[in-house]
């Protein structure tokens, strides 16, 4: 629970925050500047929860992007592999046809 503070002024005219004990005596006295800076630095419970949610969403989004990238890479690789396979098959077929043609030409030349 937040502690209630009383505002006072020092003899120099600076604003002070004073925290009292249950019996009414001063527990802590701080200048307004220091106390305010400390308050700003501290995050409230809802702020912490909101930050945690944001971080979780960001992590999930990063994971999804990474998965997409891996999937895209895999698809590209598969397509490339298929294209290479097709090209190799075509080249082998062409080479086989060329070899057969050469063989037939040689055979025909020998017969004559």
Helix, strand and coil content of the chain, in percent to the nearest 5, comes to 70, 15, 15
pLDDT, tens digit (0-9, with 9 covering 90-100), for 1-19:
456 778 888 888 889 888 8
Task: Quote the pLDDT of residue 1.
Answer: 42
Which residue is it, tokens 């912490």? Answer: 48
Closest CA to 16 of 4, 1, 27, 6: 6
Please tell me what DSSP assigns to residue 1: -
pLDDT, tens digit (0-9, with 9 covering 90-100), for 46-69:
888 998 999 999 888 888 888 888
User: How many other β-carbons are positioned within 10 Å of the β-carbon of residue 76?
Assistant: 10
Half-sphere exposure of 73 (CA within 13 A, CB side): 6
Q: How confident is the model at residue 111 (pLDDT cuts 50, 70, 90)?
A: confident
Rg of the chain's alpha carbons, rounded to an integer?
41
Query: Would you say 18 and 26 are in contact if contact means Cβ atoms under 8 Å apart?
Result: yes
Query: Would you say 28 and 19 are in contact if contact means Cβ atoms under 8 Å apart?
Result: yes
């Amino acid at each position: 629970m937040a502690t209630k503070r009383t505002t006072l002024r020092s003899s120099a005219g600076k604003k002070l925050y004073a925290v009292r004990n249950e019996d009414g005596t001063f527990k802590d006295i701080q200048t307004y500047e220091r106390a305010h800076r400390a308050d700003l630095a501290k995050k409230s419970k809802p702020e912490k929860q909101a930050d945690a949610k944001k971080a979780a969403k960001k992590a999930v989004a990063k994971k999804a992007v990474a998965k997409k990238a891996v999937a895209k890479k895999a698809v590209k690789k598969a397509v490339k592999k298929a294209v290479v396979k097709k090209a190799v098959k075509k080249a082998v077929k062409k080479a086989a046809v060329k070899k057969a043609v050469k063989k037939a030409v040689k055979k025909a030349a020998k017969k004559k």
